[in-house]
Amino acid sequence: MPVTLVDDPRPWRLLLIIPLAVSFVLFAFPQAYFIAASFHENLGYGRIGEEWTLANYVRVFTDPLYVGSLLRTIGLSALSASICLAIGFPVSYVIARMTSRRKATLVGLLVAAMFITPVVKDVGLIILLSQNGVVNQALSVFSKPLGWLGSEAGVVVGLVHFTLPLIVLLLGTVISTVPLSLEEAAHAHGASRARVFYGVIIPIVKPGMIAATLMVFNLAMGAFTTPALLGGGRVLTFPILIQRSVILDVDYPFAASLSTILLVSVFCLNVLAGYLMSRQGRFRRMASPAPAAVSTFVKKAA
Amino acid sequence: MARVTLENLAKWYGGQNVLDIVSIDVKEGEFLTLLGPSGCGKTTTLRMVAGFVSPDTGRVLFNGTDMTRTPTQKRRLGMVFQDYALFPHLNVADNVGFALRAAGMPKADISKRVRELLALIRLPAVGERFPSELSGGQQQRVAIARALAHTPAVLLMDEPLGALDLKLREAMQHELAVIQQKLGITTIYVTHDQEEALSLSNRIALMRRGKIEQLGTPREIYRNPATPFAAFFLGKINFVPGKLQEKQAGAYRISTSKGMLLCPTKDERKFSLGDQVLVAVRPEHLRIAEVASQNGSNVLPGRVVRQKFTGKVVQYEVRVDEMTSFIVDGTMDRSIESDAPVQVAWDVSATYLYPYEDDQEIGVGVASTEPQVVEVTGKHEANTLSESLAMT
């Protein structure tokens, strides 16, 4: 008779088969399908040819519209991720170091803000940023009205607005892994406020900080609603071009090749960042914001 | 090295007075311990010296210079934390040299000084390692080296041995004492561990509820506790409530529920006839006797209700009356049966006397009967139980 182990994990692993099957059907299969579609010819009216071809990719990389759009998307996403980091870090630091009951309220508001659909957020921004909106009225002392809507600046504002709650939550988890006593030890041994920040906090949270910024960057790379509404059709980011070739041109293989390029470039940029990070030397007690960590941060606050 | 003067420090948090007029003068090179239960204000006091907390009133002076408004980083401190607080992204050498780099010392001098300190803490070979690669004891030694590297004016330690296990803690106590004596650095040490305080300190400031209960050398406080709490917190103590009946030559006569006790008169405290008082005596001064009365001794009759073997001594719990039990330190070579009637005797000179005050925290007052109610072992106790229940 085989010995039954009380701690045998194998029966429980069987439960994983269901989520595995679901993700395969909903994620891996369609993904594989559109990647395959990108290597075929468009026959018009949504039909896809039989022949294998690289023509779609040649078209993307020889047309300045698409190359320019890819670079613009990367640029705008990087810019908004950097702005998010700069604005988000101090906010998350303050929240992470809070001990009062107000912390729970603030984290709750952040989570709520994160789940508001970008459409709603962008409508608000459109009102604020319009020609005679509040922002232009406030700036009227210094300059004539600025055309926020339909400009790259407007899109960046929208992307920052869209991703800021997330980066604050992510950074909050990372910062709360740094014990306050480390800061106190640094102060006690002669470090100024700035030295504590750049010499202690930043080096310790750096891996987590980069990971959080990358997540925000990835969200911005794939964002459609915000550039569509705030760009007003004049800021052509990659997701907007994908949508156009699907809806306006009904060119599925070409849309698929654009999607594949977006997917691969985001993937490559993340791998590159990870590689640069790992070259930074030995990191101890690595602080990185896993989704589970976010939920414990939220729980702790509550 | 500096003389540290704490002048009338007080602090309120949300209407609560966590520190209530604390004044201590720490001499140059002295090892002073702030001792007390949690919430007594010892850590708040230390953090005021460190500059992490601003006092609401009072001043902190180093060598007579007011430092109350000086930021932490300009106070030239060394500090050791309970959780070590070593920088995880720096190796041991960089951790130890942290204060030197912050002060802008040349690199060559830093590495020389770091080598000296690693030799001092007897860990010469760990400079290249990271804190997470060291054991708890080693990490704390590195933390001590970091706190000493720049020869601080004051060394502050916040329960530095609290996270270590017993054997390691004892070894580290010894090491700390050796290092502190060798360097002669003014040290303020926070702990709730009375043994640590007794063995390390030049002086102890025993704190309770934001106030200093007693300030003195370990011997002074142990031999001559100023308050019932001081007697209770350092070492062990037995209390008997009573009433002052008579003043004789050099002694008070106090009536208790089970007989008269004598207590030497001391100059510092005056009692008047009829005062409610608290008689206190340490377990190590008690003996269990068969003979009823002896000259120069206080004697109370009682019954052994429990004995606890602790290795070095056997602790007998002797019930004197429903309200009062005595802990008596005995030896193993004499066996006393449980429930046997005995006499507890001690020298009059070993008796302390305090004004009576209800204080459940130290087992004086109503709550003191509670542990005896819980453990019911025989008929005798069953009676006590019903009596106690009737009382409540």
CATH classification at residue B281: 2.40.50.140
Structure tokens at B386: 């019903």
Confidence at B30, pLDDT banded by 50, 70, 90: very high
Q: Would you say residue B386 has pLDDT above 90?
A: no
pLDDT at B385: 40
One domain, residues B49 and B186: yes
Closest residue of B to A184, CA-based? B52
Q: Tell me how close the Cα of A241 comes to any Cα of chain B, in angstroms.
A: 44
Interface test with A, best of B48, B72, B114, B134 (most A CBs within 10 A): B72
Q: Tell me, yes or no, whether B205 and B264 share the same domain.
A: no
Kindly report, residue by residue over B134-159, the tens digit of the pLDDT.
Answer: 988 899 999 999 999 999 999 999 99
Cβ contact (<8 Å) for B87 and A204? yes
Task: Please calculate the CA angle A25-A30-A33 and round it to the nearest 5 degrees.
Answer: 130
Same domain, B253 and B221: no
For residue B151, give the chain A residue with the closest CA: A189
- Cα(A172)–Cα(A188) distance, rounded to whole angstroms? 25
Judged by a CB distance cut-off of 8 A, whether residue A189 touches chain B is yes
Question: pLDDT of B200-223, one tens digit each?
Answer: 999 999 999 999 999 999 999 999
The CA distance from B221 to B202, in Å, is 12
B chain contacts of residue A203, beta-carbon cutoff 8 Å: 89
Q: In whole angstroms, give the CA distance from residue A59 to residue B150.
A: 66
Which residue of B75, B102, B131 is in closest CB contact with A191? B102
Cβ-based contacts of B85 with chain A (< 8 Å): 179, 181-182, 184-185
Q: Are residues B102 and B181 both part of a single domain?
A: yes
The pLDDT of residue B257 is above 50:
yes
Query: Which of A56-60, B126-130, B157-161, B360-364 has the weakest average pLDDT?
Result: B360-364
pLDDT at B174 over 60: yes
Torsion-angle region of B184 (φ positive above 0: left; ψ -120 to 50: alpha; else: beta)? left
Domain end (from B183, B203, B229): B229
Of A184, A187, A282, the CB nearest to B130: A282
Q: Are B246 and B362 found together in one domain?
A: yes
Other Cβ atoms closer than 10 A to B41: 24
Considering only the beta carbons, identify the residue of B73, B130, B147 that sits closest to A187. Answer: B73
Which residues from chain B sit within 8 angstroms of residue A182, using beta carbons? Answer: 85, 87-88
Tell me the nearest-neighbour CA distance from B111 into chain A, angstroms: 17
Element at B323 (helix H, strand E): none
Residue B324 has, within 13 A of its CA and on its CB side, a CA count of 21
The verdict on a CB contact (< 8 Å) between A204 and B85 is no
What domain count does chain B have? 2
Interatomic CA distance for residues B169 and B160, integer angstroms:
9
Q: Are B159 and B82 in contact (CB under 8 A)?
A: yes
Q: How far is B48 from chain A (nearest CA, A)?
A: 12
A131 — contact with chain B (CB < 8 Å)? Answer: no
Contact A282 B132 (CB under 8 A): no
Arithmetic mean of pLDDT, B162-172: 86
Do A188 and B78 lie within an 8 Å CB cutoff?
yes
Q: Across residues B286-307, what is the average pLDDT?
A: 78
Chains A & B: contacts with CB separation below 8 Å: 75
CA distance B101 to B95: 10
Chain B environment of A179 (Cβ under 8 Å): 83, 85
Helix count (H) and strand count (E) of chain B? Answer: 11, 20
User: Closest Cα of chain B to A147: distance in Å?
Assistant: 46
pLDDT beneath 70: ranges in chain A:
1-2, 280-302
Q: Looking at this predicted complex, what is its ipTM?
A: 0.81
> Are B274 and B373 found together in one domain?
yes
Give the alpha-carbon dihedral of A89, A92, A96, A97, to 10 degrees.
60
Q: Which of B113, B87, B109, B46 is nearest to A196 (CA)?
A: B87
Does A280 reach chain B within 8 Å, measured CB to CB? no
* A229/B340 Cα distance (integer angstroms): 92
What per-residue confidence (pLDDT) applies to B377? 36
Question: What angle in degrees, to the nearest 10, is found between the helix axes of A152-175 and A202-222?
Answer: 140
Q: CA of A207 to nearest chain B CA: how many angstroms apart?
A: 11
Q: Which domain holds residue B112?
A: 4-229
Q: Tell me: pLDDT of B378 over 80.
A: no
**Alpha carbon of A254: minimum distance to chain B alpha carbons (Å):** 48
For B351, the token pair is 């008796």
Contact B81 A203 (CB under 8 A): no
Sorted by where each starts, the structural domains of chain A and their CATH numbers stand as 64-301 (1.10.3720.10)
Is A204 close to B88, i.e. CB distance below 8 A?
yes
**B277 and B167 share one domain:** no
Provide, as residue numbers in chain B, all residues whose Cβ is less than 8 Å from the Cβ of A204: 87-89
Is the C-alpha dihedral spanning B103, B107, B112, B117 positive or negative? Answer: positive
| A179: closest chain B residue by CA | B85
Chain A: residue nearest B72 by CA?
A: A188
Q: Tell whether B219 and B246 lie within a shared domain.
A: no
Pairing assessment for the beta strands B77-80 and B154-158 based on DSSP bridges:
parallel
B183 and B283 part of one domain? no
pLDDT of residue A198: 92
With bands split at pLDDT 50, 70 and 90, how would you rate the model's confidence at B292? Answer: low
**Mean pLDDT, residues B246-272:** 79
Give the Cα separation of B2 and B56 in Å (integer).
Answer: 24
Q: What CATH number should be reported for the domain holding residue B32?
A: 3.40.50.300
Let me know whether B270 and B216 are in one domain. no
Cα distances (angstroms) measured from residue B176 to each of A129, B31, B173, B248, B354: 65, 11, 5, 48, 36
Chain B residues at the A interface, defined by Cβ less than 8 Å, are 50-52, 71-73, 75-79, 81, 83, 85-89, 98-99, 102-103, 130-132, 146-147, 150, 156
In this predicted model, which residue has the larger pLDDT, B248 or A298?
B248
What's the mean pLDDT when you consider all of chain B? 85
- CB contact under 8 Å between A285 and B99, yes or no, is no
Relative to beta strand B187-191, strand B154-158 is parallel
A286 touches chain B (CB under 8 A): no
- A65 CB neighbour count, 10 Å cutoff: 10
For B33-82, what is each residue's pLDDT tens digit? Answer: 999 998 899 999 999 999 999 999 999 999 999 999 999 999 999 999 99
Cβ atoms of B355 and B280 within 8 Å: the answer is no
B280 and B203 in a single domain? The answer is: no
Model confidence at B190: pLDDT above 50: yes
H or E segment and range at residue B388 = helix B379-391
Contact A186 B87 (CB under 8 A): yes
Among candidate residues B170, B194, B229, the one where a domain is terminated: B229
Give the Cα separation of A58 and A34 in Å (integer): 17
Q: Choose among A198, A210, A204: nearest CA to A177.
A: A204
Pairing of strands B57-62, B251-256: unpaired
Identify the residue with better confidence: B348 or B139.
Answer: B139
Band of residue B347 on the pLDDT scale cut at 50, 70, 90: confident
Judging contacts by C-beta atoms under 8 Å, the chain A residues touching residue B88 are: 182, 204, 284-285
Phi–psi pair at B247, nearest 5 degrees: -110, 115
In chain A, which ranges are continuous DSSP H helix?
Answer: 10-13, 17-23, 29-37, 55-62, 64-97, 102-115, 118-129, 134-139, 152-175, 180-188, 193-196, 202-222, 225-231, 238-247, 252-278, 291-301
A144-151 contact pairs (CB < 8 A, 24+): A148/A230, A149/A230, A149/A232, A150/A230, A150/A231, A150/A232, A150/A233, A150/A234, A150/A235, A151/A231, A151/A234, A151/A235
**Claim to verify: residue B114 and residue B158 sit in the same structural domain:** yes
